[in-house]
Amino acid sequence: MTWSGLLAFLPASLLLAMVPGVGTAMLIKQSVRGGRRGALATVAGMEAGVAVWATTAALGLSVLLLASEVAYEALRIVGVLVLLGSVRGHCSAGTGWSRPRRPVARGFGPGCW
């Protein structure tokens, strides 16, 4: 990368890092629902997810996925199943997207996924 490319990349990446995203929305939701304890459980779950992602990347999962089309397709199918399970869990008895209140300690799970 050239110096001019690096000088263009750094401010752009800084701006993107400052924009709130889905994680921020989830953290705010869990904070409102469960207070400080719910927020801390969500942050712990989010960071555990990042740690798992970084560990698998360091161990070479990304190289395996690039080299093996079967492994890549298997991961895609697992991802679809996780998303469908999440949507199914959010819908309760055909009444839309409402969910009963859950204990605060359950904030860790949504933070991981």
Parse the chain into domains and list their residue ranges.
22-112
User: Which residue in the block uniquely carries the two structure tokens 């929305």?
Assistant: 25
Instruction: Using a cut of 0.85, tell me whether the model's pTM lies above it.
Output: no
Task: Specify whether the CB–CB gap between 104 and 34 falls below 8 A.
Answer: yes
Q: What is the DSSP letter of 104?
A: G
User: What whole-number distance in Å separates Cα of residue 106 and Cα of residue 30?
Assistant: 10
DSSP H/E element including 2? none
Q: Each residue of 9-42: pLDDT tens digit?
A: 888 888 888 888 888 888 888 889 888 888 899 8
User: What whole-number distance in Å separates Cα of residue 27 and Cα of residue 110?
Assistant: 10
